[in-house]
Amino acid sequence: MKSATEEKIFKLLSVHFSIGQEVITLRSNLIEELYMDSIGLLEIVMTLNDVFSVVLPEGG
């Protein structure tokens, strides 16, 4: 059974990739299996930051 957080992430990925949530697993490789490029990866990270209110510090 998936946690509420996992459900949210699976739903976001499902919408982004226009695929069913049943296709995505905890072991899915976004780049190799779902064919995500670097821009898509950045978009997903930004979306997850917004949804979960994550604030990343600027700089290194």
Residue 60 pLDDT: 60
- Against a cut of 0.85, is the pTM above it? no
* Residue pair 5/26 in contact by the 8 Å Cβ criterion: no
User: Half-sphere exposure (CA, 13 Å, Cβ side) for 22?
Assistant: 0
Report the distance separating Cα 43 and Cα 13, nearest Å: 11
Residue 3 pLDDT: 92
Over the chain (60 residues), the average pLDDT of each successive run of 10 is 90 89 89 88 90 82
